[in-house]
């Protein structure tokens, strides 16, 4: 299930795609997907109809932060973040999608 957020028309807000946390030494995290010591080595953020103003790794390379603007009132947009990790011998990959409704 995708995370759902509402954003006011004209706002520029930040959102987080978090893959590590809780038992992996981050008490405020949202998930435990990454193994201890595993980090995001690359990521791609995609969206259509809404603007990604900025995107960067955060939280010791276990989260991706995005800044979002634009869109049309009463429309809902999907924003997807796909990651690759530094896991060996094979890098792990995952994608998550959030929905942002402009109000």
* Cβ contact 100:12 at 8 Å: no
> Hey, what CATH class is 3-102 in?
mainly beta
Which residue is it, tokens 């791609």? Answer: 44
Q: What is the pLDDT of residue 14?
A: 98
Residue, of 53 and 87, whose pLDDT is higher: 53
More confident residue, 35 or 76: 76
Mean pLDDT of the chain: 90
Write the pLDDT tens digit of every residue in 21-67.
665 555 555 667 888 789 999 999 999 999 999 999 999 999 999 99
Least confident interval from 22-26, 60-64, 73-77, 93-97: 22-26
CA distance 94 to 24: 18
Q: Alpha helix (H) ranges present in 9-95?
A: none
Mean pLDDT in residue range 77-103: 95
pLDDT at res. 81? 97
d(C-alpha 17, C-alpha 23), whole Å: 17
Domain spans of the chain? 3-102
Strands lying side by side in the sheet with 3-7: 3-7, 93-102, 76-85, 40-47
Residue 18 has pLDDT above 80, yes or no: yes
Spatial separation of the C-alpha atoms in residues 29 and 23, rounded to whole Å: 9
Judge if pTM exceeds 0.95: no
């Amino acid at each position: 299930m995708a995370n759902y957020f509402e954003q006011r028309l004209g706002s520029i807000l930040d959102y987080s795609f978090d893959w590590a946390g809780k038992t992996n030494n981050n008490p405020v995290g949202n998930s435990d997907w990454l193994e201890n010591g595993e980090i995001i080595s690359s990521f791609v953020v995609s969206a259509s109809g809404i603007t990604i103003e900025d995107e960067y790794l955060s939280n010791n390379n276990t989260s991706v932060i995005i800044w979002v603007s634009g869109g049309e009132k009463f429309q809902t947009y999907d924003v997807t973040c796909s990651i690759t990790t530094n896991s060996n011998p094979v890098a792990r990959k995952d994608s998550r999608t959030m929905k942002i409704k402009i109000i």
